[in-house]
A and B are shown apart, each in its own frame.
Chain A
Amino acid sequence: MAYRNLFATVALAGLFAADGAGAQDFLLKYPDIVGQWRRPAGIGIQWDQSKRVGPAQEAPLTPEYQARYEANLADQRAGGQGTDPLGKCIPPGMPRMMSVIFPMEIIIMPNTTYILTDYTDPRRIFTDGRAWPKELEPTFTGYSIGKWIDEDGDGRYDVLEVETRGLKGPRTFEASGIELHDDGESVIKERISIDKANKDILLDEITTIDNALTRPWTVTKKYQRERGNVVWYFNHCAENNHHVWIGKDNYMVSGDGYLMPVKKNQAPPDLRYFQSSQK
């Protein structure tokens, strides 16, 4: 009987430890990254946060991809979507998802660091020491392997180094349509860390190596932490998406539910299958 009480007390103590010391000790090994991360005030969805969206980004594109970019800009000016695939609810993929259109949560677990953006698929950054798989099925988010590093030797990890491969397209850096190469051979390297001067600023130094670029393109993203009772928005691209693609043509659905053109003098869709159906 006494043993039963003792076991019950041990159980109680174990649970007590769970809410206190255990969790804190685990977190002590890693940077405090808990909370909601947003783009800082005044920062839009441009790729390089220090420059304006569009040609001002001065993306180091090859001549071929520069020409494609300019054709895309002309299409966007005419009312089209250009090379930006998000109108179809294709996910932004890597690296664009790190522009964090909607708030981001980072969850550190011993073998995986998760990046949830409430807009697109979760990123899994495997930190379990695995090697690159022999074969990778290409995805928009890619396959990410990371390593936590204690750079300043204080016994606590402070930088997550990540490499991402195994990508597919179409992907662009931003809504202006700066494309990544069709070959999906991008390699994206990141260094994710808390700003030493401000624990509520997260930095992600992102270097993109891609055959659409003449050189590696490095930008540093900043994110601002929201603490307390944050609101997580549920952003669902397909809900109320008025873009419609029929073949290679983009149309819109009007507020009153009719198909409408997006460009002046755009031809309506070919309805030949309706004619044959109604014979």
Chain B
Amino acid sequence: MLDRSSIAVVAMVLALGATMGDARAWDEALYPDLKGQWRVVGGPMRFDPGKPWGPGQQAPLTAEYQAIFDKNLKAQAAGGQGTTPTYTCLSPGMPRVTNGYGQIEFVVTPNTTHILVQHIHDNRRIFTDGRDWSAAVEPTFLGYSIGKWIDTDGDGRYDTLEVETRNFKGPRAFDSSGIPLHEDNQTIVRERIYLDKDDRDLLRDEVTVIDSALTRPWTVLKRYRREPDRQPYWREVNCAENNNHVEIGKENYMLSADGLLMPTRKDQPPPDLRYFAQSQK
């Protein structure tokens, strides 16, 4: 039971807290300063930035998905796209969007943390309003993310955003080498996002993926570096603009510089034009 003096102290402290809250903008004072433009450290092509591209990632794939991955690598070596679906400008989805292939901005609001990625159409909403999973509806490439800001060191400021993402659809791959996620789309992605304690221009994202294509949870650490310019240049990137990939049925072709369809691999058959024959009768 609190005594009178304790109550007085608590009341004073609450008043102080309220006054502090009045005097400062909520985002600057109580959440980490994530403003600015962030770019991934180590390049965007690999899911684990600490390991080489492709087989060097040593993804803990099940035997079935390792075979799918190996077949994909052969298809890519022959000129195809394998199991990486983004050449048609499909969103890479989660967790690949954390690879940071575009400029990144964090917009922290009381109920949602937005992560805006300048690439295809990869803007994430992480709901931090205390909701449960019942609101998750239509499966998406980016999934449905619920987060919670945590004050891990008890200094009165949030420092870590814990996020869980579910409710996916596919196809999705971890990176451009085509490491696949399971087609059941039961993926769960857990993240811990926080600023480096010694370098406030370095952001860390511990990403753990639980997926039926994996033999165990796969955890990697992403790092993003803040650009020094506080009025950064935001590049507009539209994947569909000047995309020379053409998908017809299950075949991938390319457009030549002179605007003609061309094969992407040796001896690839041309598209079936049966509907033109009907049209021209």
Q: Which residues of A contact B (CB under 8 A)?
A: 6-23, 25-26, 88-91, 107, 109-110, 114, 116, 120-122, 124, 126, 128, 130, 137, 139-141, 229, 231-234, 236-239, 244, 246-248, 253-254, 256-261, 264-274, 277-278
Instruction: Please state if B17 and A236 are interface contacts (CB–CB under 8 Å).
Output: no
User: What residues of chain A lie closer than 8 Å to B275, measured between beta carbons?
Assistant: 254, 258-261
Restricting to B181-207, which residues have a CB under 8 Å from any CB of A? none
Instruction: Please state if A22 and B261 are interface contacts (CB–CB under 8 Å).
Output: no
Given contacts A25-B21, A246-B261, A277-B262, contact A14 B138 (CB under 8 A): no
Instruction: Please state if B91 and A236 are interface contacts (CB–CB under 8 Å).
Output: yes
Instruction: Please state if B274 and A122 are interface contacts (CB–CB under 8 Å).
Output: no
- Per DSSP, chain B at the interface is loop
Instruction: Please state if A258 and B272 are interface contacts (CB–CB under 8 Å).
Output: yes
Q: Which of B109, B246, B263 contacts A244 (CB 8 A)?
A: B246
User: What residues of chain A lie closer than 8 Å to B41, measured between beta carbons?
Assistant: none
- Digitize B223-256: 1 where CB-to-A-CB distance is under 8 Å, 0 elsewhere: 0000000010111101111000011111000011
User: What residues of chain A lie closer than 8 Å to B33, measured between beta carbons?
Assistant: none
Q: Which residue of B lies closest to A9 (CB)?
A: B13
Instruction: Please state if A23 and B240 are interface contacts (CB–CB under 8 Å).
Output: no
For the complex, give the distance between the alpha carbons of A257 and B247 in Å.
9
User: What residues of chain A lie closer than 8 Å to B78, measured between beta carbons?
Assistant: none
Q: Which residue of A lies closest to B125 (CB)?
A: A232
User: What residues of chain B lie closer than 8 Å to A18, measured between beta carbons?
Assistant: 21, 26, 29-31, 158
User: What residues of chain B lie closer than 8 Å to A258, measured between beta carbons?
Assistant: 248-249, 271-275
Given contacts A25-B21, A238-B89, contact A15 B151 (CB under 8 A): yes
Restricting to B77-131, which residues have a CB under 8 Å from any CB of A? 88-91, 107, 109-110, 114, 116, 118, 120-121, 123, 125, 131
Q: Which of A116, A271, A278 contacts B261 (CB 8 A)?
A: A271
Instruction: Please state if B250 and A257 are interface contacts (CB–CB under 8 Å).
Output: yes
Besides the contacts A17-B21, A229-B131, A238-B120, what 4 more A-B pairs have beta carbons closer than 8 Å?
A: A12-B156, A23-B110, A26-B27, A89-B239
Instruction: Please state if A130 and B231 are interface contacts (CB–CB under 8 Å).
Output: yes
User: What residues of chain A lie closer than 8 Å to B241, measured between beta carbons?
Assistant: 90
For the complex, give the distance between the alpha carbons of A208 and B114 in Å.
30
At the interface, yes or no: B267 with Cβ under 8 Å from chain A? yes
Q: B167: shortest Cβ distance to chain A, in Å?
A: 11
User: What residues of chain B lie closer than 8 Å to A273, measured between beta carbons?
Assistant: 256, 260-263
Q: Which 5 interchain pairs have the tightest Cβ spacing?
A: A257-B249, A13-B17, A17-B21, A247-B259, A11-B156
Instruction: Please state if B262 and A234 are interface contacts (CB–CB under 8 Å).
Output: no
Instruction: Please state if A88 and B240 are interface contacts (CB–CB under 8 Å).
Output: yes
5 contacts between A and B (CB under 8 A): A18-B158, A22-B30, A265-B279, A271-B260, A278-B267
Q: B169: shortest Cβ distance to chain A, in Å?
A: 9
User: What residues of chain A lie closer than 8 Å to B107, measured between beta carbons?
Assistant: 107, 109, 114
For the complex, give the distance between the alpha carbons of A18 and B151 in Å.
12
Q: Which of A116, A256, A257 contacts B114 (CB 8 A)?
A: A116
Instruction: Please state if B271 and A259 are interface contacts (CB–CB under 8 Å).
Output: yes
User: What residues of chain B lie closer than 8 Å to A128, measured between beta carbons?
Assistant: 231
Q: A276: shortest Cβ distance to chain B, in Å?
A: 9
Q: Which residue of B lies closest to A139 (CB)?
A: B236
